[in-house]
Amino acid sequence: MPSEPKPPATDARATDQFDTPPPPKVSVLILCRNQAGPLRKTLASLERSEHRQAIEVVVVDSGSSDGSEAMDGEFPGINMLRLPKNFGATKAKNIGTRTATGEFLLFLDPGYEVSPDTVHALAASLESQTGANAVCPLVTGPNGPPPVYALPDAAWFSQPRTTAVTFAGPSAVEFPAGWPMMVRRQLIAGSNYFDERYGHHWTDADLAIRIHKAGRRILVLPDIAVAAPEGGVAPVGLQGSTAERSDYLLGAAHYLGKHRGAVAGLLFQAKSILLALLTLRLPLFFALLSGRKIDRTQPE
């Protein structure tokens, strides 16, 4: 009696490759700290995205206690990274960027709401644009788009300067502070990630000026729109607690020293310390003297 034919041999490696899903095209990176309501709104809009399986959502939580840190219980498809304390936005961005696996990286603050086609439309536009290293959707709200700023110099930090943009078509901008921005992940990884000499502020300005120094552009795409967070995009400026103000000013000094010359950075830091003393803002004076940043090297 003839024997049963044996099934063809299979290559285990080929089977594993076939079963392994492809890496996501886009990683969405969201930083949060005690922003459960806005975070939930953003995650819900991302869950409605087209081809959701091709989008990785990475949330870096900086020591929240309002339920933000448990949001993966409501949205099991996200990758929640829980930091025990607030180490500042720079370290959180680096942790999220190193974790992300997508070719493109979309920085998105809690509170933004995207349309189903937003993420993939941004990726397709960035892939097709020549001369652009970053793209932003047009931010919409009851008062129109938020400001777009000029790249900071020494005078800028006393009076932030905005630039007029019509958004009649893809529009090159210098510094869209607070806007969602998509870049190639390799742009960040290839330059050794974000400079952790910044604490919480100014990594976005640092990235913007690096793009411009490379002869590239940041484009706002008016055909792709996102709804602004409730209350709008926070304006750039010196505000918040003593720790936040100190971090803002020390980060500004580092930015100027790095991009406008060492003397500009030292002069700005010296002027900030002297002004805090002359105006009797002694907590800020001592915070600046001690180099107090939001990065856990100093107490908040």
* Full pLDDT tens readout for the chain, 300 residues: 445 555 555 454 444 555 666 789 999 999 999 999 999 999 999 999 999 999 999 999 999 999 999 999 999 999 999 999 999 999 999 999 999 999 999 999 999 999 999 999 999 999 998 788 999 999 998 888 999 999 998 888 888 899 988 898 899 999 999 999 999 999 999 889 999 999 999 999 999 999 999 899 999 999 999 999 988 888 787 788 999 999 999 999 999 999 999 999 999 999 999 999 999 999 999 999 999 999 866 555
Sheet strands side by side (includes 217-227): 79-83, 55-62, 26-32, 104-107, 181-184, 132-140, 217-227, 171-173
Q: Of 3.60.10.10, 3.40.50.300, 3.90.550.10, 3.90.550.60, which CATH number belongs to 19-227?
A: 3.90.550.10
b vs e for 240-261, b when ≥16 Cβ sit within 10 Å of the residue's Cβ? eebbbbbbbbbbbbbbbbbbbe
Please tell me whether residue 69 adopts helix, strand or coil conformation.
Answer: helix
Task: Provide the pLDDT for residue 131.
Answer: 82
Task: Provide the pLDDT for residue 298.
Answer: 57
Task: Provide the pLDDT for residue 234.
Answer: 82
DSSP state of 10: -
Cβ 114 vs Cβ 47: under 8 Å: no
Q: Dmax over Cα atoms in the chain, in whole Å? A: 104
Burial of 124 (0-12, 13-18, 19+ CB in 10 A): middle
DSSP state of 222: E
Task: Provide the pLDDT for residue 209.
Answer: 95
- Token digits of residue 290: 């001690």
Cβ 162 vs Cβ 86: under 8 Å: no
| Cα–Cα distance for residue pair 300/293, rounded to 1 Å | 8
Cβ 168 vs Cβ 67: under 8 Å: no
Task: Provide the pLDDT for residue 254.
Answer: 97
Helices 262-278 and 242-259 cross at an angle (nearest 10°) of: 150
Q: Where in the chain is the domain with CATH 3.90.550.10?
A: 19-227
Task: Provide the pLDDT for residue 149.
Answer: 95
| Close Cβ partners of 233 (under 8 Å, ≥ 6 residues apart) | 139, 146, 177, 178, 179
| Cα–Cα distance for residue pair 82/63, rounded to 1 Å | 7
Where would I find the beta strands (DSSP E) of the chain?
A: 26-32, 55-62, 79-83, 104-107, 132-140, 148-149, 162-163, 171-173, 181-184, 217-227
